[in-house]
Amino acid sequence: MTELTRRNLLGMIGTVAGSTAMYYAMTSMGHAQPSSYKGPIKLDGDPKGAKVLILGAGLAGMTAALEMRAAGYEVEILEYREKAGGRCWTLRGGDTYTELGGATQNVDFEEGNYINPGPWRIPHHHYALLDYCRRLKVPLEVFVQKNFNAYVHNEDSFDGKPQRLRDIEIDYRGHTSELLAKAVDQGKLDEMVSEDDREMLLESLRELGVLNGKYEYTKSLEVSDYRGYEKPPGGGMNAAPVASTPIDLDKIVQSRLWEYLSTNYLQEHQNTMFQPVGGMDAIAKGFEREVGDLITYNAKVTSLQQDDNGVTVQWEDARGGGETRTSTADWCVCTIPFSVLNQIDHNLSGGLATAIGTMFYNSSVKWGLEFKRRFWEQDENIYGGISYTDQAIAQISYPSYGYQSDGPAVLLGGYTWRGSNSYKFNAMSPDERIEWALKMGEKIHPQYREEFKTGVTVSWHKVPWTLGCSGVWEGREGYDEAVKIDNRVVCAGEHLSYLPAWQEGAILSSLDAISRLHDKVING
């Protein structure tokens, strides 16, 4: 008899219990690891007054500034924008944003409402980011990633009617548990499951799938405890609950709504997730409180040159009428996205220069839609979480704050990630993008049109300071060369990490870069 192999076990865990259970099983077997952050870095040794010039005041740049000044460096930061944070960015009422092409949006949200066009959630295992939030006293609150009461939607299934995620997930798990339990009970997996494991596995499937004594997933009050009741239990007369009827497996399979189930089990999306109170830019402001005195804002870098003696950077002073200025330093930490750096005159060499010239960036589009009232709570009992759809907007995320409050509220009215839909929206004007978000969103929420108040949309390929959402490596070819110190310059940012698009990646990349640079400064 063949014993249950590690691969078979992981496959069975993933099939029945979902990716979360499989991930934790993989972690215990040494296959999956959380963030590599081990605590604050120590830059030992005296840099003897060496000056470092940091290009970009995003999280990578400000992390470098904070740690290098503490180590004794003279630090100067040049920032393209009028504020710090880069993609750690929040839009509120009164803000104005102009994208490439000249379209300007004036944000008209009510006070207290906001949208995060860039990062919008923090995984519990992004230890570096969480540690800096603690050190910088940035208050956090829970971000609801998975809400069983949110929707999954496919226009060609269930007559286009959205289905509660709970119904699809619980019924899919119940039916597949039944199939696996019957296969085990009938001896069809004897070559994979040892005699000792057989009964234990059957017991686990009965419990996990809410199966009856015949290993059937069928209508019952016990099943309704998980998927919800046709008539919930109440009080007084006629208070007895009525069991609901599970959806047939063939309908779930053919609907393809199961495609949306696994995203909530990705390591980066597992509970608990967080968000800063009041908007993601609270993190940027926390860093800015510490290093803001080092930042020159509205400084557009036009040239980065180095030799064996130091670094020379030319930049345009937007506040000084576009006058060209020059900054010099012994060393440089460059956090400018490669999509922008490729348009700047530089004499960087080797694999770094190749990566700068060839890296492409993800396209992504987000919408912040403000509605007159929180109809998703008041009409549909959805408090936080995400609904998924086959429409081009891909998803709708409900705010994880201000529950049951009166008046207008903002939800994330769509978030595309790469692919043709992002490019199509990128080609539209902001007004056209918002109109399409309403057309698609009202297929999930019919209240959309009547309740809509105002909106803003950000297409990341049209954002002047990034020209894209996040860097993309094809097979990581050239990665090791790109992260090396190039004479007097080292680059850092989310694009130089294995956590692209995450703030954790930007911080870890920065800490690694400045640690190696410091070692070179001290030891030669």
Q: How far is CA 167 from CA 22, 171, 492, in A?
A: 22, 6, 44
Q: What pLDDT score does 34 carry?
A: 67
Residue 28 has pLDDT above 60, yes or no: no
The DSSP letter of residue 152 is: E
Instruction: State how far the Cα of 492 lies from the Cα of 506, in Å rounded to an integer.
Output: 7
pLDDT digits (tens, 9 = 90+) for 75-105: 999 999 999 999 999 999 999 999 999 999 9
Q: Say if strands 364-371 and 409-417 run parallel, antiparallel, or are unpaired.
A: antiparallel
**pLDDT digit string (tens) for 173-219?**
999 999 999 999 998 888 888 888 999 999 999 999 999 999 999 99
Give the residue from 408, 364, 392, 299 showing the smallest Cα distance to 116. 364
DSSP 4-24: --HHHHHHHHHHHH-HHHHHH
The CA distances from residue 173 to 115, 181, 340, 466, in Å, are 34, 12, 46, 42
Lowest mean pLDDT among 31-45, 196-210, 231-245: 31-45
Question: Which two tokens mark 47?
Answer: 């840099």
Q: Which amino acid is at 394?
A: A
Domains of the chain, first to last? 51-86+284-359+470-523 (3.50.50.60), 91-149+272-279+363-462 (3.90.660.10), 168-253 (1.20.1440.240)
What pLDDT score was predicted for residue 419? 85
Which pLDDT score, from 0 to 100, does residue 13 have?
A: 46
Three-state secondary structure of 86-100: CCCCCEECCCEEECC
Q: Is 115 left (phi over 0), alpha (psi -120 to 50) or beta?
A: beta
Average pLDDT for 1-24? 43
- What pLDDT shows up at residue 477? 85
Q: Please provide residue 9's backbone torsions phi and psi, each rounded to the nearest 5 degrees.
A: -65, -45
Total count of residues recorded for the chain: 524
Among 245, 177, 241, 180, smallest CA distance to 211 is for 177
The confidence band for 31, taking pLDDT boundaries of 50, 70 and 90, is very low
Residue 5 has pLDDT above 70, yes or no: no
Which string of DSSP letters, residue by residue, matches 380-404? T---SEEEEESSTT-EEEE-SSSTT
pLDDT at 424 over 60: yes
Where residue 309 falls among pLDDT bands split at 50, 70, 90?
very high
- 23 or 364: which carries more pLDDT confidence? 364
Average the pLDDT over each of 134-138, 186-190, 325-329, 454-458 and give the range with the smallest value.
186-190
| DSSP tag of 157 | S
**Do the bridges between strand 51-55 and strand 96-98 make them parallel or antiparallel, or are there none, so unpaired?**
unpaired
* DSSP letter for each residue of 302-360: EEEEEETTEEEEEEEEGGGTTEEEEEEESEEEE-S-HHHHTTSEE---HHHHHHHHH-E
Q: Is the pLDDT of residue 11 over 90?
A: no
Side chain identity at residue 402, one-letter code = G
To 5 degrees, how large is the angle CA 362–CA 351–CA 337? Answer: 35
Residues 6+ apart with CB under 8 A from 335: 54, 55, 56, 58, 60, 61, 64, 86, 491, 492, 493, 506, 510
What value does the mean pLDDT take over residues 162-175?
Answer: 98
Q: Phi first, then psi: give them for residue 99, nearest 5 degrees.
A: -95, 170
> What number of other Cβ atoms are within 10 A of residue 189's Cβ?
16
Q: Flag whether pLDDT at 20 surpasses 80.
A: no
Give CA–CA dist 28/30, Å, rounded: 5
Residue 347 has pLDDT above 70, yes or no: yes
Question: Cα separation of 415 and 114, whole Å?
Answer: 15
- Amino acid 226: pLDDT: 97
Check if the beta carbon of residue 223 is closer than 8 Å to that of residue 208.
no
Q: Residue 260: which residues within 8 A CB-CB, separation 6 or more?
A: 152, 165, 168, 388
- Report d(CA 429, CA 105) in Å as an integer: 10
Contact 63, 90 (CB under 8 A): no
What percent of the chain is predicted at pLDDT more than 90?
A: 87
pLDDT value for 69: 98
